[in-house]
Amino acid sequence: MHSLIQLSIVVLLLPLLSFVILIFFNRRLPRRGDFLGVGILGTAFGISAYIFWSVIVQTYDPAFRIAWDFTWIDLGNVPGVGPLQIKMGVVIDNLTAIMLAMVTLISLLVHLYSTGYMAGDKNYGRYFAFLGIFTFSMLGIVLSDNFFAIYIFWELVGLSSYLLIGFFFEKQSAADAQKKAFLANRVGDIGMWLGILILYSQFHTFSFEQIYANLAAGKFALSHGWLTAAGILLFMGCVGKSAQFPLHVWLPDAMEGPTPVSALIHAATMVAAGVYFVARIFVLLTPDALHVIAFTGALTAFMAATIAITQNDIKRVLAYSTVSQLGYMVLGLGVGAYSAALFHLLTHAFFKACLFLGSGAIIHAMHHEQDMRWMGALRKKMPWTFATFTLATLALAGLPLTSGFMSKDAILAGAIGFAKVEGGGIYYLIPVLGFFSAMLTAFYMGRQIWLVFFGESRTHLKPADDQHQDHHAHAAHDAHADVHHEEHEVHEVAWNMRAPLVILAALSVFFVYSPDPLDGGKGWFMKMIPTPATVVGEANHQIGDLRAPVAAPALAAVVPAIEAPAAEAGKHGGAEKDAHSYADMRQAEIIHAGHAAHFTAIYISSIMVLLGISLAFVVYVFNIIDPEKTAIAIRPLYLFSLNKWYWDEIYDATFIKGSMLIANILSWFDTHIVDGIVNGVATLVRNFALLNDAFDRNVVDGMVNFTAFTINTTGAMLRKLQTGKVQTYIVMLLLAVFGYFVFYLTRLIY
């Protein structure tokens, strides 16, 4: 076993240890054991950082990959298959190393931050325990080398998300939100599970490596459509977890959880797991599946952005922003901009965590006021928060010199290239939506910054009944809740909450990733995470001829990035496919086109972003356009956005109500029809029995009784003879003798 593997397993198990200790002993430990959680995560981060350093910095090899597995379930010598084992294992490649470091870092920072944010909560210890199990599950997803393990941790992440969203379970809305989150995830999970099953049913293994090798070797016996279906179904897992359309509805509601949790789970890590998973399965996605993914991502990005511009809750804006950004990542994967999408995952994780933690700081300082309409003028009171929040906002909006700029542009460039390669037309919708969303992002983030940090303090504007309600809702968990909280001084948060903000903001700057602020492709990340070679070469024969592939020389020039993995795949699977299969060529083309579109994307996106920010300034700073009047002017659109495109209502009316209707119908069916039949049969049998009984009593018993009656009557008659007088008997005896005598004599005579 490689020492890195050993270390990674230690990293994986450390948060679990934290969970086990804290869930059982938090009440016996000083400070409810928060130092333990932070310490353990610190250790984990230290080890992860070492792994990151060894893999990325020292080795610096795009094809780096080590794996180790063990037999978890041994099914013995299965008839028809042979020896069959289900294995569990760990794989470390560049992506894993980066994710490992990212997850542990953000988790560590969130742990640290939470010691301030959650201080005084009555379930303080349990909170850290839950953070521990979440981190464990998330690391599990990152490290897994097979579908089964990833599914397990996938669900466990769902559980930790459930537990943490519902951390303030006394609140009805929190309880609703946690259930909604879990169920929405489950819907995605069944798709993912079916996808896994399709692959397993063909190869009898869950391992990524073996499945890809088998696919590359063309051993997939089912039709090509099944493979596309498998890809789309697996993507459904991502739809659930990464809150893509149409399962995005749970993520905004998940903001009911504590804000650090939102930062860790619902911004940086868990929701990114979906994207990470799609990246893991990227090689088996057929072009058709990729199209579905691309459109889903684009639609999600656009839809969430339109919703975000009208939300008033500071966290909800960020939540929809997260959905939108996740849409970008998914879009990126869909269009084949693999590296860019993952790059965005990483950069987004940091700046979005920073934003959430910043918003948490604001909420904390504002005593659990979340509505931006009642904020304002926090710039001076919370300078640290303001600075970091702004930096992260710039990254999110995608202004140059930030990390977000590089990654987002890489995605958009990929999208343009994709549209070009696919032949334009409707495919241009994807980059268009992407750019439009970029503008909206800039707008709503500008709006947020302005509403929160600039202008006048509007705390006093809040309607009284609203306040009361709000206060009541938070009273259960807010140790700091003060009846006169508007009079309370708003001040900067303590160091343990400030430090994470600073670190995360620092990680939102371009030079961390690339020396060239305009091109992420020159940075270490894009170099270390090359687009892997696809394993679905079969498409060559079906649709390859329909579109003219680009010339082979052009290909050779743009595919250095995919050469190494392709060679590796060939080594493993003994791939018979020709190196220039359609899917491969398509991928190479897209990468090539993406590179070509790089500067186009930069220009367009910069313009859009500036447009968006300007619009925000026009509306909120210069007040040239009155937002309220505009809202009235375009009221249907405004309401459409404010009500989140009515998805909740639609789902409630269809799926929830529908399910309940079916449930009630079936339950009625069960008690009245099925059980009714049973009882009916029982009644029938009983009635038959009654009939039978009547028959029995009147006919059968009647006959019996008749016999008895006859005998009785005869007996009664004979009884007269039974006088008890001996003489009577003698008379009869003698009569009999005489009778015999006469009989005898007659016999004698004749």
Partner 1 sequence: MSITTYTVIFYLFAAITVCSAAFVVFTRNVIYSAFSLLFTFFGVAALYVFLSADFIAVTQVVVYVGGILVLLLFGVMFTNSIMQTGQKSEVLHIFSGMLLLIGMIGALLYTFYTTHSWMPSETTLQGSIVERIGFETMSRYVLPFEMVSILLLAALIGAAFLARFDKSGK
Partner 2 sequence: MLSLIVFLPIIAGLVILAVPSSQKQIIRIVSLLAALAQGVLAVLIWRGYDPALPGITAGPGGSPLGSFQFVEKVPWISLNLGGFGSLNIEYFLGVDGISVTMVILTALISAIGVLSSWTIQKQVKGYFILYNLLASAMMGCFVALDFFLFYVFWEIMLLPMYFLIGIWGGPNREYAAIKFFLYTLFGSVFMLLVMIGLYFSVLDPVTGNHTFSLVAMATQSNYIKDAILGPDNVFWRYVAFIVLFIGFAIKVPMFPFHTWLPDAHVEAPTAISVILAGVLLKLGTYGMIRINFPLFPEVFHAGMYVIGIFGAINIIYGAFCALAQKDLKKMVAYSSISHMGYVLLGLSAGNSEGMVGALYQMFNHGTITAMLFLLVGVIYDRAHTRQIEKFGGLASYMPVYAAVVTIAWFASLGLPGLSGFISEALVFVGAFSSVTTRPIAMVSVLGIVFGAAYLLWSLQRMFLGQRRADAAYDLVVGEDGHEHIHFHDWKGKIDLDGRELAMLVPLVLITIFLGIYPMPVLGMLTASINKLVQVLSPVVMSQM
Partner 3 sequence: MEQLTTIGLNHYLTISAFLLGFGLFAVMTRKNAIVILMGVELILNAANINFLAFSKYNGGMEGVMFALFVIVIAAAEAAIALAIVINIYKIFKSVDVSSIDTLKE
Instruction: Point out which residues bind partner 1 (CB under 8 A).
Output: 725, 727-728, 731, 734-735, 738, 741-742, 745, 748
Q: Which residue among 179, 462, 471, 547 contacts partner 2 (CB under 8 A)?
A: 179
Please, which of residues 487-526 interact with partner 2 by CB under 8 A?
none
Cα–Cα dist 45/512, whole Å:
18
- Please list the residues that pair with 74 across neighbouring strands: 85
Give the nearer residue to partner 3 in terms of CB position, either 73 or 733.
Answer: 733
Give the nearer residue to partner 3 in terms of CB position, either 650 or 734.
Answer: 734
Report what 742 binds from partner 1, partner 3, partner 2, none; CB cut-off 5-8 Å by kind: partner 1
Stretch 660-689: interaction string toward partner 2, x if CB under 8 A: x-xxx-xx--x---xx-xx---x-------
730 binds partner 3 (CB under 8 A): yes
Report what 741 binds from partner 1, partner 2, partner 3, none; CB cut-off 5-8 Å by kind: partner 1
Q: How many CA atoms lie within 13 A of 78 on its CB side?
A: 10
Q: How many CB atoms lie within 10 A of CB 165?
A: 30
Q: Apex CA 687: angle with CA 685 and CA 690, to 5°? A: 110
Report what 78 binds from partner 3, partner 1, partner 2, none; CB cut-off 5-8 Å by kind: partner 2
198 binds partner 2 (CB under 8 A): yes
745 binds partner 3 (CB under 8 A): no
Q: Are 187 and 181 in contact (CB under 8 A)?
A: no
186 binds partner 2 (CB under 8 A): yes
Q: How many CB atoms lie within 10 A of CB 661?
A: 10
CA torsion angle 324 328 329 335 (round to 10): 150
Give the nearer residue to partner 1 in terms of CB position, either 660 or 742.
Answer: 742
Report what 621 binds from partner 3, partner 1, partner 2, none; CB cut-off 5-8 Å by kind: none
Q: Are 367 and 488 in contact (CB under 8 A)?
A: yes
Stretch 689-728: interaction string toward partner 3, x if CB under 8 A: ---------------------------------xxxxxx-
Report helix, strand or coil for 74. Answer: strand
Q: Which residue among 124, 134, 193, 350 contacts partner 2 (CB under 8 A)?
A: 193
Q: Which residue among 134, 148, 350, 427 contacts partner 2 (CB under 8 A)?
A: 148
Give the nearer residue to partner 3 in terms of CB position, either 669 or 744.
Answer: 744
Of 234, 304, 308, whose CA–CA distance to 275 is shortest? Answer: 234
Report what 547 binds from partner 2, partner 1, partner 3, none; CB cut-off 5-8 Å by kind: none
190 binds partner 2 (CB under 8 A): yes
Q: Where are the alpha helices (DSSP H) in 519-581?
A: 524-528, 539-543, 552-558, 560-573
Q: Which residue among 78, 689, 699, 732 contacts partner 2 (CB under 8 A)?
A: 78
Cα–Cα dist 250/181, whole Å:
5
Count, residues near partner 3 per rule CB under 8 A: 9
Sign of torsion over alpha carbons 678, 683, 687, 690: positive
Please return the burial class of 203, using the count of CB atoms within 10 Å of its CB with bins 0-12, 13-18 and 19+: middle
> Which amino acid is it at 172?
Q
Report helix, strand or coil for 33. Answer: helix
Of 311, 255, 253, 292, whose CA–CA distance to 652 is shortest? Answer: 253
Give the nearer residue to partner 1 in terms of CB position, either 77 or 727.
Answer: 727
Give the nearer residue to partner 1 in terms of CB position, either 28 or 725.
Answer: 725
Q: Are 528 and 384 in contact (CB under 8 A)?
A: no
Q: Which residue among 74, 466, 576, 578 contacts partner 2 (CB under 8 A)?
A: 74
81 binds partner 2 (CB under 8 A): yes
| Ramachandran angles phi, psi of 76, nearest 5° | 75, -160
Give the nearer residue to partner 3 in terms of CB position, either 553 or 724.
Answer: 724
**Taking contact as CB under 8 A, which single stretch among the options 79-87, 427-435, 443-451, 716-724 is the one that binds partner 2?**
79-87
CB of 173 to partner 2, least distance (A): 9
Intra-chain end-to-end CA distance of the chain, in Å = 124
Three-state SS for 475-523 is HCCCCCCCCCHHHCCCCCCCHHHHHHHHHHHHCCEHHHCCCCCCCHHHC
Long-range contacts of 75-79 (CB under 8 A, 24+ apart): none
Q: Which residue among 6, 53, 70, 75 contacts partner 2 (CB under 8 A)?
A: 75
CB of 719 to partner 1, least distance (A): 18
Q: Apex CA 133: angle with CA 131 and CA 139, to 5°? A: 100
Q: Which residue among 91, 102, 183, 216 contacts partner 2 (CB under 8 A)?
A: 183
Report what 748 binds from partner 1, partner 2, partner 3, none; CB cut-off 5-8 Å by kind: partner 1
DSSP secondary structure code for residue 415 in this structure = H
Kind plus residue range of the DSSP H or E element containing 69:
strand 65-78
Give the nearer residue to partner 1 in terms of CB position, either 703 or 742.
Answer: 742
Report what 726 binds from partner 1, partner 2, partner 3, none; CB cut-off 5-8 Å by kind: partner 3
Sign of torsion over alpha carbons 674, 675, 676, 680: positive
What per-residue string of b and e applies to 341-351 under the rule 16 or more CB within 10 Å gives b?
bbbbbbbbbbb
CB of 746 to partner 1, least distance (A): 11
Distances (CA, A) of 715 to 331, 704, 708, 711, 733: 105, 16, 10, 6, 19
Report helix, strand or coil for 75. Answer: strand
Cα-to-chain-centroid distance, residue 477: 27
Q: Are 100 and 139 in contact (CB under 8 A)?
A: yes
Only one residue has tokens 């939108």, namely 324
Give the nearer residue to partner 1 in terms of CB position, either 685 or 731.
Answer: 731
CB of 716 to partner 1, least distance (A): 21
Report what 596 binds from partner 2, partner 3, partner 1, none; CB cut-off 5-8 Å by kind: none
Give the nearer residue to partner 2 in terms of CB position, either 198 or 406.
Answer: 198
Cα-to-chain-centroid distance, residue 464: 38
Q: Which residue among 689, 691, 734, 742 contacts partner 3 (CB under 8 A)?
A: 734
Structure tokens given for 121: 């909560």
Report what 65 binds from partner 2, partner 3, partner 1, none; CB cut-off 5-8 Å by kind: none
Of 90, 125, 101, whose CA–CA distance to 41 is shortest? Answer: 101
Q: Are 334 and 274 in contact (CB under 8 A)?
A: no
Give the nearer residue to partner 2 in terms of CB position, either 204 or 344.
Answer: 204
Report what 75 binds from partner 1, partner 3, partner 2, none; CB cut-off 5-8 Å by kind: partner 2
Stretch 122-161: interaction string toward partner 3, x if CB under 8 A: ----------------------------------------
Please, which of residues 155-174 interact with partner 2 by CB under 8 A?
155-156, 159, 162, 166, 169-172, 174
731 binds partner 3 (CB under 8 A): yes
| Ramachandran angles phi, psi of 75, nearest 5° | -90, 5
CB of 155 to partner 2, least distance (A): 5
Give the nearer residue to partner 3 in terms of CB position, either 692 or 722.
Answer: 722
Enumerate binding residues for partner 2 (CB under 8 A). 72-81, 84, 148, 151-153, 155-156, 159, 162, 166, 169-172, 174-176, 178-179, 182-183, 186-187, 189-190, 193-194, 197-198, 200-201, 204, 659-660, 662-664, 666-667, 670, 674-675, 677-678, 682
Enumerate binding residues for partner 3 (CB under 8 A). 722-727, 730-731, 734
